[in-house]
Amino acid sequence: MGRKIVLWLLWVGFITYVLLLAPLDQPGTLTYIQKLVTFQWVGINPVVIVLFSLMGVWPMVYACFMFLDSRMQAISAWPAFLASNGAGAIGMLPYLILREPSQNFHGPKGILLKVLDSRASGAFLCLGTIGLLIYAWLAGDWSDFIRQWHSDRFIHAMSLDFCLFCLVFPSLLGDDMARRGLKDSRIFWAVALVPLLGPLVYLCLRPPVPESTAEVALS
């Protein structure tokens, strides 16, 4: 119950902050977002491009945890996954709030679950993320990004949304480790305390969840 209260407070608090306390919207924000979505990136700070791209990586990272987890839940992971691709962590949090702790997995893994559970998927996401980070570090204008963070609601909210993804990620990690027989708390903290790269390295190295022929309880 305590976990759910904390997640609920984070959800409400983030929405309240963005609506009431974040910097005001700037003229042309919708056009700016449209350019990012349609890859018209000429003239846009590479740091912003990379941050926007990483906001697409996070839902995929969560998918590698949620879809296995949702097999044993009364709720589906699909609505949260789809919502998170448009609304970020705000779209993800309802699933994290409503799910119940579950350290088991029963039944066969279909094609989707096998892909999401594979180390190859983790490696693909990890290599792509490292490439993006190198691009931001070498080509980005960080002073301009800091200026935009202070003055632009979209950049400000997207940055905080990235941080929120990092903050709530451990709520899925413990149960995922238990399904795989990983009991060392040092693994948990090493993964949880390194933003994004910790979860990505975990995806590259974690053993697969055992598949069974037992009847699927919830799909």
> 211 lies in a domain?
no
Number of domains in the chain: 1
> 59 lies in a domain?
yes
> 124 lies in a domain?
yes
3-state SS track over 139-205:
HCCHHHHHHHHHHCHHHHHHHHHHHHHHHHCHHHHHHHHHHCCCCCHHHHHHHHCCCCHHHHHHHHH
> 97 lies in a domain?
yes
> 99 lies in a domain?
yes
Q: Would you list the DSSP string of 100-148? A: -------S---HHHHHHTSHHHHHHHHHHHHHHHHHHHHH--HHHHHHH
| pLDDT digits 0-9 by tens, 28-66 | 888 999 999 999 999 999 999 999 999 999 999 999 999
Residue 119 or residue 23, greater confidence: 119
> 28 lies in a domain?
yes
* pLDDT above 90: percentage of residues in the chain: 80
Statement: residue 104 has pLDDT above 90: no
pTM assigned to the model: 0.92
> 147 lies in a domain?
yes
- Expressed as residue numbers, the domain containing 52 is 2-205
pLDDT at 19: 87
Closest CA to 108 of 79, 76, 68: 68
pLDDT at 42: 92
Q: What is the mean pLDDT of residues 187-207?
A: 97
> 46 lies in a domain?
yes
